[in-house]
Chain A
Amino acid sequence: MSTLTRNMSFGQRFLANEWSALAVAIVIGLVALAALSPAFLTEFNLYVMLRSFCVVLIVAFAQMLTLAVGQMNLSVGALGGLVAIAVGGMMEKWGFPVPVAILSGLAIGAAGGLINGLLTVRTGINGFIITLATASAFTGINLGITESIPFYNLPAGFVAFGTGRFYALPYLLLPPVLIAIALAFFLARTVPGRQLLAVGGNPQAAELSGIPRDRVIVMAHTLSGLLAAAAAILAVAQLGSAQPTIGVDWLLMSFAAPIIGGAALTGGHISVAATALAVVLIVIIQNGMVLAKVDPYWVQFLLGALILAAVGLNRLRAVRAGGA
């Protein structure tokens, strides 16, 4: 494969790349929207778009890490909701300083992920069922504590961070960008990161080469929980209040972005860049719908169509690569 890549022109190499179709779709979308809608390239609209990009990206990363080891995390949204109200409650009811509340929130997320991972590995039960069950449990704790009443009185500094911007760049964008860089480095350059991909790619081979498979799976779930918590805290900052409903609509999105980015459910095959591009595409489509004043229901419809199209395209590429 590598010798094949070397003999190809830049154009061919670009087309053979997994995310080339995504990049093309994004460019077409950007050009079309800029040409059709004068409101698209305004500073405020770009700010709004970048802002909605933040939470979705981290949610997608949270799912991507479990997909990397061939697992699933259906509790991403439920855990996010629990962390959101926990952080809100700690700040409003208990008056915790913001950093303490954020760190505690992250710890809760990681603990939730750890529980998922340990249960999956220790019982040998499918991660789908385990996280379906824990998702229900997390949501139950969330609703039981809050009785569906949000926390509104959050520290001014925290809320200001959620709305602040530098021209078109929201401050909110900083954490996702740092997380993306850290994740890319983690997966490409560190031993645990490589182990994660190895376990996903071929569990038997990984185990035979001495990689502690169970520990790696638990790590993937823990990191997934941690990222879900980070996404939840950003969502609280973005909304300016800790809503118990944060996370209820994350499930589809969390799978859509990595899968559109070419991730395989069998594991071992993920890409930080492609997942990020997929989120960019989703956000552009959503924004385009808003600008075109289309029924918001079309977003739901198109997201489903987009997943199917991406899966079909990947399938086609795999078939052609296999035939060549």
Chain B
Amino acid sequence: MTLSVPSDSRARPSFLAEQSNLIGLAAIILLFWVLFTSLAPGFVSTFNLFALSRSLAVDVVIGFSTMVVLATGGMNLAIGSIGVCAVMASGYLMQTLGLPIPVAMALALLLGAFLGWLNGFVIVRSGVNSFIITLASASLFLGGMLILSKAQTFNALPPEIAAFGRMRWGFLSPLLFVALGLGAALIVLFRFTALGREILAAGANARAAELSGVPVGRAIIIAHTLSGALAASAGLMLVFRLGAAMPSIGQDWLLPSFLAPVLGGTLLAGGYVSVVGTILGAFLVTTIRSGLLVMQIGNFWLQLFLGLILLAAVMLDRYRSVYAERRSLGRRDSGRRNSGRRA
């Protein structure tokens, strides 16, 4: 699924390179499935597949949350903090105020969108790098949430919450279909709407976009608002899964939030996203995590594997694009552009 703004101002994967990236990713996932299934038969048990589909749903949405901001060439380090703010807000609204579930969920999503909007607004108004702003706001949001909630878990939520979390469609969790639905909406946004194209244009070349009349500031603010709402959705999915609103949610989101889109080929520089790639990237991460758990290698080595896989994936991608460039440019030594060594 190629979603990019045509512009020759920057290098971006060609259609073929993009497809080969997705096919390569799918092949790696398949390889791991074969490996885990043969090593640990419990891996394809309906129980494990159900658990896998639930965590996949969350990983996919976390990945989307970072992806929409990467589209503008920015970053959002506050995803975990926004997620946990939404989680605790939903817990407070349902348990303490006794609001109906849909109302509480809608308000929590709104809070997430608002916090994201706040990020975007400050970034655009101050002109300061989104890394710094969201690093600071992550601390601010998390601190504010802890001060207000006193780090107390809401664990007397309506029973329907946990029931929905346990619900199965076949051997899959309905949460996964929610995540895929969000993915479909994002494909429509980036491919078919003016707004989506504006966000990508702002990321590809902010100056050029500005000069051609794209409201760059507005596009960045909307991307951050969307990112906040998606982070809140991921948090709420965890509330369904855990049946409780915990203040510890979101603190380990940073790595997976970047893993999924980057493995899927989304550029850090902006201007290009791959929704299907992000889903596959999240799928790879969830597969490895689940497989290592089933094989009882446990969480301790998991971090090492995820780190090495991210490294391997980005390097592979780098060399593939360098190779493609060399082939298309003939003898010009463009591949060494970035290593910049001089004789």
Contacts and interface: CB of A to CB of B under 8 A. Distances in A.
Interface of A: 72, 119, 121-126, 128-130, 132-141, 143-144, 147-148, 207, 213-214, 252, 255-256, 259, 265, 295, 297-305, 307-308, 311-312, 315
A252 B143 CA distance: 13
Contact of A132 (B132, B137, B254, B300): B254
Contact of A308 (B122, B306, B341): B122
Contacts of B146: 295, 297, 300-301
Contacts of A130: 311, 314
A72 B135 CA distance: 13
A214 B339 contact: yes
Nearest to A121: B339
Given A125-B318, A315-B128, A298 B143 contact: yes
A259 B268 CA distance: 22
A133 B141 CA distance: 25
A315 B340 CA distance: 32
A122 B129 CA distance: 26
B127 A315 contact: yes
B166 to A, nearest CB: 30
A299 B339 CA distance: 42
A295 B147 contact: yes
Contacts of B133: 308, 311
Nearest to B315: A123
The 9 closest A-B pairs by CB, nearest first: A140-B304, A124-B338, A301-B143, A136-B307, A137-B307, A304-B140, A304-B139, A140-B303, A300-B143
The secondary structure that dominates the A interface is helix
Contact of A304 (B126, B137, B304): B137
A148 B302 CA distance: 13
Interface residues of B, number: 49
Interface of B: 75, 122, 126-129, 131-133, 135-144, 146-147, 150-151, 254-255, 258, 262, 268, 299-308, 310-311, 314-315, 318, 337-342
Contacts of A295: 146-147, 150
A141 B306 CA distance: 12
Given A122-B339, A304-B136, A311 B255 contact: no
Contacts of A119: 311, 315
B142 A300 contact: yes
Nearest to A142: B303
Contact of B311 (A128, A133, A298, A315): A133
Nearest to B254: A132
B268 A133 contact: no
Contact of A252 (B75, B135, B340): B135
A128 B76 CA distance: 13
A192 B304 CA distance: 33
Given A252-B135, A255-B135, A133 B338 contact: no
B139 A300 contact: yes
A137 B129 contact: no
Contacts of B136: 256, 304-305, 307-308, 311
Nearest to A72: B131
Contacts of A138: 307
B132 A311 contact: yes
A207 B122 CA distance: 35
A234 B262 CA distance: 35
Contacts of A128: 75, 131, 268
B300 A136 contact: no
B143 A136 contact: no
B139 A147 contact: no
Contacts of A305: 136, 140
Contacts of B300: 140, 143-144, 147-148
A96 B9 CA distance: 57
A133 B340 contact: no
Nearest to B305: A140
Nearest to A244: B300
Contact of B318 (A123, A140, A252, A307): A123
Contacts of A256: 136
Contacts of A129: 258, 262, 268, 310, 314
Contacts of A300: 139, 142-143, 146
Contacts of B314: 123, 125, 129-130, 133
Given A123-B318, A265-B129, A300-B143, A140 B302 contact: yes
Contact of B151 (A255, A297, A315): A297
Nearest to A208: B342
A273 B92 CA distance: 45
Contacts of B342: 207
Contacts of A255: 132, 135
Nearest to B126: A315
A303 B268 contact: no
A301 B139 contact: yes
Given A140-B303, A207-B342, A259 B126 contact: no
Given A124-B339, A140-B302, A133 B135 contact: no
Nearest to B302: A140
Contacts of B304: 136-137, 139-141, 144
Nearest to A122: B339
B132 A124 contact: no
A124 B321 CA distance: 12
A148 B301 CA distance: 11
